[in-house]
């Protein structure tokens, strides 16, 4: 048979090139091919745990780390979180011996990775324990190369691990300061024994456990799981069925028992539930979790001032009910029984023991032992009062307000705040609460919001104030973006956040990638305004308006350029739309009715903005509209907490000013019910009562509780979309004297926002 010349060329040149390319491709993907063979194709023919591990890993030990980065997500985050919490936990005993045991650490990847977050030289001893000799050999080479003399590699059964320093016969109880299990808990058959052993050797006061692993979970029916919190924990039935079977082929157990016992045995500090999308982002979603915990025997009283007797605080927080309070919590006897939730069993009398000489009030000791919520084991600054997730909380997907829409400077003129005042305010974004703390330093500021995401936002601000420098803080909340937010969240901010808040911001860690203020419901309006300005070619005029050096120039740009666009029929129609008013502006139906009772939507926009443009400089202090127009603040025009002076005030004396805050996740009336009579001197309820329909019983109940909790001559401030809100009469009937501070007209604005029709004050008789 005769081949044509082109065929001969193919045989002699092209085919060898293809073979060479194929070999090069196989060499390039050699780690991945080894991984596929040993994990999915090669049969394992032994039932012995140690022999099975050796057989499974012996052919892939050298490529283990190269093939696991995409699969084993969250390891670095767990280590970074642990390092941040360890630094704070060890503040009281910085010279205490620190021992780290990495269980199931395999190749030593975790220990090498930890060096960038918490230097390995800072540990007195590090022990890597694993049952697989092929992986341990990789670890020995790794540590020898790094020259770490304080790291010891041991081939042991995790459930029976024994450290060399225990050979002297001393009791190992409390001798270990840090324990990690990175994708190993799901592979250890005797996990009950292991976790019991860890609990025994873990230092009770400052010991920390870090876990990252795969998991599956159903619904969360138990009170304990609700107390621990954590969004996105539930797995669908398909996910539970598929992943448990899939991993079971490799003798990896994803049943809920391991995590349930972990969370029962130890107090939860942080809990994050994620989904690994490394193969097919929209299809393959392997559930994994990151978890930090402490010994349940630690003294949580030092970290849970949320249960102070002063000012109440024992009820009105959607729980915890008394049976979920910590053992030894001190509460008023008169407030103990009323704080039971409906359906909760009564506390037996033998559970109460009177205690003498504790503070200035009669107190009782609550002898209760069930596992406590994650709030109790918080390492630092538990501003947030404990709450259990309720059905109403699930109605809030995110925060509604990324900034506060009331003028605190005007509030201060009529509040007459001092250091002896205790006040209640609506949380919103927390901007005004921080303004009051900077300028008056009241002894207590109760911040109340039913939306837990508003609490998450204010928690983040408080934690960032405490842990960051001014430059990083202004980038986050002034400019609205920070390129390294994700790292800051784990390495610096996390110890000052509740587990629920940390989970929220870990899931939303892209919020600071472009403009934070374009997120949340209020961000819809800002994004719409930005789109409108681009569409109409007004972007440059908007920037000139915000840079205007005089009020005359500002007013001229407004009237000639911006006003014709904002007052066009399309915008007016949107303001008439109840869906847009709620989702973009946070204006509910009842408030919208009040707004339109006093005039048309066109008249509302005209009266709001015309007088602002000629009265207050956006460049030099009217930061509310500057933010809306630019999407960020400037150092010259921003809330007081974003100024260098305000930041320094809040940071001074180890952030002492922040100690006044208590964040409640509940309705105002419930929080008021939990406060002692006459314990408040000031309250700012914003436009909150506009949300209720005329004659609503909820308003009568709330005003009645305000009167009970308010001291004589106490002051309540509010704003309204109506010039004469109907509920003024409710305040008068309840024993308040009511006066109008200002009413909006066409010329003089009532403040730097001028969005409300009236501003009111009520004084308790």
User: How many Å apart are CA 179 and CA 166, to the nearest integer?
Assistant: 16
pLDDT along the chain (765 residues), means of 10: 51 57 54 50 55 53 56 91 94 91 94 96 96 91 94 94 90 96 94 96 96 86 69 80 84 88 92 80 78 87 44 39 34 31 33 37 39 78 81 81 92 95 96 97 96 95 96 97 95 94 92 90 82 88 94 94 80 61 57 68 78 93 92 96 97 93 94 94 93 91 96 96 92 96 83 91 94
Confidence (pLDDT) at 65: 54
Which CATH superfamily does the domain covering 64-295 fall into?
Vaccinia Virus protein VP39 (3.40.50.150)
Secondary structure of 334-400 as H, E, C letters: HHHHHHCCCCCCCCCHHHEEEECCCCCCCEEEECCCCCCCHHHHCCCCCCECCCCCCHHHHHCCCCC
Q: In the numeric block, which tokens belong to residue 660?
A: 């006044």
401-452+637-764 folds as: Rossmann fold (3.40.50)
Every domain of the chain with CATH number 3.40.50.150 lies at: 64-295, 401-452+637-764
Predicted local distance difference test score (pLDDT) of residue 739: 97
Give how far the C-alpha of residue 436 lies from the chain's centroid of Cα atoms, to the nearest Å: 23
Predicted local distance difference test score (pLDDT) of residue 671: 94
Residue for token digits 């909790």?
Answer: 709
* pLDDT on residue 615: 93
Residues in the chain: 765
CA proximity to 445, closest of 454, 457, 453, 435:
435
Q: Residue 149: exposed, middle, or buried by beta-carbon count in 10 A (0-12, 13-18, 19+)?
A: exposed
pTM, 2 dp: 0.83
Interacting residues of 740 by C-beta distance below 8 A, sequence separation 6+: 758, 759, 760, 761
pLDDT at residue 565, rounded to an integer: 81
The three-state secondary structure class of 209 is strand
Q: Regarding beta strands 286-295 and 208-214, do their DSSP bridges make them parallel or antiparallel, or are they unpaired?
A: antiparallel
> Would you state the pLDDT for residue 376?
82
Helix, strand, or coil here: 303? helix
**CA-CA-CA-CA torsion sign (586, 588, 592, 595):** negative
């Amino acid at each position: 048979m005769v081949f044509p010349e082109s065929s001969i060329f193919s045989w002699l040149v092209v085919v060898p090139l293809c073979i060479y390319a194929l070999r090069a491709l196989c060499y390039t993907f050699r780690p991945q091919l080894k991984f596929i063979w040993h994990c999915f194709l090669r049969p394992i023919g032994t039932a012995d745990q140690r022999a099975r591990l050796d057989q499974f890993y012996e052919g892939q030990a050298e490529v283990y780390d190269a093939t696991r980065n995409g699969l084993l997500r969250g390891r670095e985050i767990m280590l970074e979180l642990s390092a941040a919490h360890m630094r704070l936990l060890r503040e009281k005993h910085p010279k205490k011996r620190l021992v780290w045991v990495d269980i199931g650490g395999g190749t030593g990847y975790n220990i090498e990775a930890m060096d960038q977050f918490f230097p390995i030289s800072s540990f007195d001893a590090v022990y890597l324990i694993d049952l697989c000799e092929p992986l341990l050999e990789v670890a020995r080479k790794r540590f020898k190369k790094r020259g770490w003399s304080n790291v010891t590699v041991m081939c042991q059964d995790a459930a029976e691990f024994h450290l060399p320093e225990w050979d002297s016969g001393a009791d190992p109880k409390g001798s270990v300061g840090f324990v990690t299990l990175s994708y190993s808990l799901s592979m250890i058959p005797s996990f009950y024994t292991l976790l019991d052993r860890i609990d025994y050797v873990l230092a009770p006061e400052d010991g920390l456990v870090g876990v990252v692993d795969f998991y599956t979970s159903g619904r969360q029916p138990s009170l304990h799981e609700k107390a621990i919190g954590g969004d996105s924990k539930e797995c669908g039935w398909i996910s539970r069925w598929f992943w448990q079977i899939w991993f079971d082929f490799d003798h990896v157990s994803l049943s809920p028992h391991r995590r349930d016992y972990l969370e029962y045995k130890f107090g939860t500090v942080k809990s994050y539930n994620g989904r690994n999308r490394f193969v097919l982002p929209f299809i393959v979603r392997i559930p994994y979790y990151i978890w930090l915990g402490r010994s349940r025997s630690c003294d949580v009283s030092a970290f849970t001032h949320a249960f102070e007797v002063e000012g109440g605080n024992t009820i009105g927080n959607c729980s915890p009910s008394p049976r979920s309070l910590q053992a030894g919590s001190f509460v008023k006897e008169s407030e103990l029984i009323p704080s039971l939730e409906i359906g909760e069993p009564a506390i037996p009398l033998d559970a109460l023991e009177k205690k003498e000489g504790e503070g200035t009030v009669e107190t009782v000791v609550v002898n209760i032992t069930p596992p406590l919520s994650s709030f109790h084991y918080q390492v630092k600054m538990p501003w947030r009062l404990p709450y259990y997730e309720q059905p109403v909380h699930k109605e809030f997907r995110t925060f509604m307000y990324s900034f506060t829409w009331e003028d605190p400077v005007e509030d201060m003129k009529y509040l007459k705040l001092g250091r002896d005042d205790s006040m209640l305010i609506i949380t919103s974004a927390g901007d005004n609460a921080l303004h009051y703390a900077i300028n008056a330093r009241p002894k207590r500021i109760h911040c109340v919001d039913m939306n837990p995401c508003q609490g998450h936002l204010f928690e983040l601000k408080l934690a960032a104030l405490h842990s960051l420098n001014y430059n990083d803080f202004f980038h986050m909340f002034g400019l609205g973006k920070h390129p390294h937010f994700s790292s800051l969240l784990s390495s610096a901010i996390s110890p000052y956040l509740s587990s629920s808040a940390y989970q929220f911001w870990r899931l939303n860690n892209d919020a600071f990638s472009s403009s934070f203020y374009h997120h949340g419901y209020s961000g819809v309006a800002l994004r719409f305004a930005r789109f409108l300005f681009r569409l109409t070619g007004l972007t440059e005029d908007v920037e000139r308006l915000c840079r205007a050096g005089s009020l005359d120039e500002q007013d001229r740009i407004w009237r000639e350029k911006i006003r014709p666009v904002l007052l066009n029929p399309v915008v007016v129609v949107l303001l008439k739309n109840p869906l847009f008013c709620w989702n973009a502006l946070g204006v509910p139906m009842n408030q919208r009715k009040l707004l339109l009772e006093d005039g048309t939507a066109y008249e509302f926009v005209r009266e709001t903005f015309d007088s602002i443009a000629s009265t207050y400089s956006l460049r030099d202090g009217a930061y509310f509209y500057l933010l809306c127009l630019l999407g960020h603040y400037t150092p010259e025009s921003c809330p007081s907490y974003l100024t260098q002076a305000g930041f320094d005030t809040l940071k001074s004396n180890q952030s002492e000013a922040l100690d006044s805050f208590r964040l409640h996740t509940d309705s105002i009336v419930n929080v008021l019910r939990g406060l002692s009579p006459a314990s408040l001197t000031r309250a700012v309820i914003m436009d909150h009562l506009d949300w209720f329909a005329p004659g609503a019983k909820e308003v009568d109940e709330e005003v009645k509780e305000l009167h009970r909790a308010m001291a004589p001559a106490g002051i309540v401030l509010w704003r309204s979309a109506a010039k004469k809100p109907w509920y003024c009469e409710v305040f008068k009937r309840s024993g308040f004297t009511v006066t109008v501070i200002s009413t909006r007209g066409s010329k003089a604005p009532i403040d730097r926002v001028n969005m409300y029709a009236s501003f009111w004050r009520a004084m308790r008789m």
